[in-house]
Amino acid sequence: MVVYFRTLGRITAPETIAVGGAIREVGGLRRLYGPARWRNRKGVAQVELPDGEVRLAEVHGYEATAIGRREFKIKRYRD
């Protein structure tokens, strides 16, 4: 199930989970977005869901310095 959302404000408590070859999907990220030092990151943010509801959620995604943040997803709600 795909949940579309928009982050409101900054992602707080950022934490790196894995870097480079330790990321399972690194091959796909390099094919889609290009070669870079990919990091799997997580943090907490206020998110707005499609129905307008605002919730505090733990979000996970991928990030590379020259490319930016990609493929963020909600892992769990914190409220």
Residue 32 CA to its chain's centroid (Å):
16
pLDDT digits (tens, 9 = 90+) for 48-64: 999 999 999 999 999 99
Q: What is the pLDDT of residues 12-51, one digit of tens each?
A: 999 999 999 999 999 999 999 999 999 999 999 999 999 9
Residue 1 has pLDDT above 70, yes or no: no
Helices (H), 1-79: 26-33
